[in-house]
Structure 1
């Protein structure tokens, strides 16, 4: 029996590639609205979060436009536009959030035990910088990143710091930031700032359990928001 290539592409990439091929074949013409997220999920036999990640990947590549409240529409393919299919495929936003839930919650618990006064001051400084902004401005996200990396450093475990740095590289990549752009707003950012305040309070209070719970709450809120807040063209 001939050896066959093992399918190693992430699920959202497989979905995105299938939709891209259908667009190329004219099944969905330029300007046409794609089936709803719910319908695609049922037809493909996959979860709605996986479909959402695939649609965001296609939006990053310029093949579709997501119009909140209206639907997802096919765009004209730009001449000479580069395809992302052959490039290394990053983890999807939902996998990333779940990984952060596991790793950063324990990082926060360790930080509550090992953080130095210098760490606490840097965390406070990052939080103050976050509070200067009303929404997800680049400077605000940079302050958010500083907060989380300082928390990882405060854990006292250099391997955890390395992992958190890698997770944040993916978190600031185009796939995650494009999905996040559909949820940015003052209310969302205000909630995030408040959650960081709870994290700082728990770490400064030397309460590992509270720090762990605060990080889990922060990550779970992000997952729930990404899973339920964007329903273009659906009832």
Structure 2
């Protein structure tokens, strides 16, 4: 059963569906290793990040096991290994990396608007959220609560309720979906959060200086680097 090129809509789910069909059809036996991410991407004619999302979706569903430094292996099929469907789970969520690209576009403009319109109290709220992140990180706690508050406070300051709701919705979709959560388990480290904290500080300083261009650039830089950290971390995990 050869792999087939897929269409772009909900791309990682289509890839996951094809790979799952190959597993259930016996093309990949329990305990066998799947082809490398690079090879799958070439056969499917898609990007490696899309393959990465699909493999993690299959891991969430119980079809495969990620072995750091070795590869992706098919698990013995159980009742728990089944596709997830519906709102709020792996079948219904946007691709995490695609969502990060959307956040980069939207939140860059939101940060620029916040730099233009933010009042003193709103800047203080952004700074308070960053301080929350820093305190959690220093205590060894993943600073997600402060991260949510930071991005929401910037959105509050932008002066547009539609954009505010969009930013909050994107953040929740990113951080509550099981595929993104599993990605975080693989790729988030104290070092990655320390890098993110420094990037958040740059966003805050640009907004505090009421410099829209600098705020836009700082937010773009933060979300681009976040995207790259996930990609680079996966490559290291597969080659180490």
How do residues 89-100 of structure 1 correspond to structure 2 at under 5 angstroms?
89-100=92-103
Tell me the CA shift for residue 133 of structure 1.
Answer: 3.0
Within 1, Cα distance between the matches of 2:15 and 2:192? 29
Number of positions where the alignment pairs a residue of Structure 1 with one of Structure 2: 229
Distance 1:101 1:75, change over 3 A: same
- For 1:211, the equivalent position in structure 2 comes to 215
Given that residues 11 and 50 in structure 2 are in contact (C-alpha distance below 8 angstroms), is that contact kept between their aligned partners in structure 1? Answer: yes
Q: Match for 1:170 among 162, 168, 173?
A: 173
Given that residues 36 and 234 in structure 1 are in contact (C-alpha distance below 8 angstroms), is that contact kept between their aligned partners in structure 2? Answer: no
Tell me the CA shift for residue 148 of structure 1.
Answer: 0.1
Tell me the CA shift for residue 233 of structure 1.
Answer: 3.8
Distance 1:182 1:82, change over 3 A: same
| CA displacement, residues 50-84 of structure 1 (integer Å, 9 cap, x when unaligned) | 11110011111111121221111112233255521
Q: Cα RMSD between the aligned structures?
A: 2.1
Given that residues 15 and 54 in structure 1 are in contact (C-alpha distance below 8 angstroms), is that contact kept between their aligned partners in structure 2? Answer: yes
Within 1, Cα distance between the matches of 2:59 and 2:97? 17
| TM-score relative to the length of structure 2 | 0.88
Q: Single out whichever of 79-88 and 34-43 deviates more from structure 2.
A: 79-88
Within 2, Cα distance between the matches of 1:26 and 1:34? 12
How do residues 16-31 of structure 1 correspond to structure 2 at under 5 angstroms?
16-31=16-31
Within 2, Cα distance between the matches of 1:137 and 1:120? 26
- For 1:196, the equivalent position in structure 2 comes to 200
- For 1:74, the equivalent position in structure 2 comes to 74
Within 2, Cα distance between the matches of 1:189 and 1:97? 16
Distance 1:70 1:8, change over 3 A: closer
Q: Single out whichever of 181-190 and 154-163 deviates more from structure 2.
A: 181-190
Within 1, Cα distance between the matches of 2:223 and 2:8? 27
| CA displacement, residues 92-116 of structure 1 (integer Å, 9 cap, x when unaligned) | 1121011111100000000011112
Within 1, Cα distance between the matches of 2:185 and 2:208? 32
Within 1, Cα distance between the matches of 2:127 and 2:86? 42
Within 1, Cα distance between the matches of 2:57 and 2:139? 20
Tell me the CA shift for residue 8 of structure 1.
Answer: 8.5
Within 2, Cα distance between the matches of 1:77 and 1:29? 10
**Uncovered stretches (5+) of structure 2, i.e. residues with no partner:** 1-6
Q: Secondary structure at the match of 2:92?
A: coil
Tell me the CA shift for residue 191 of structure 1.
Answer: 0.3
Within 2, Cα distance between the matches of 1:161 and 1:138? 27
> Is 1:229 paired with 2:229?
no
More helix by share: 2
| CA displacement, residues 170-189 of structure 1 (integer Å, 9 cap, x when unaligned) | 11121222112211111100
Q: Secondary structure at the match of 2:33?
A: coil
Within 2, Cα distance between the matches of 1:194 and 1:55? 31
How do residues 1-235 of structure 1 correspond to structure 2 at under 5 angstroms?
10-79=10-79, 81-85=81-85, 89-134=92-137, 140-172=143-175, 173-231=177-235, 232-234=237-239
Within 2, Cα distance between the matches of 1:67 and 1:37? 13
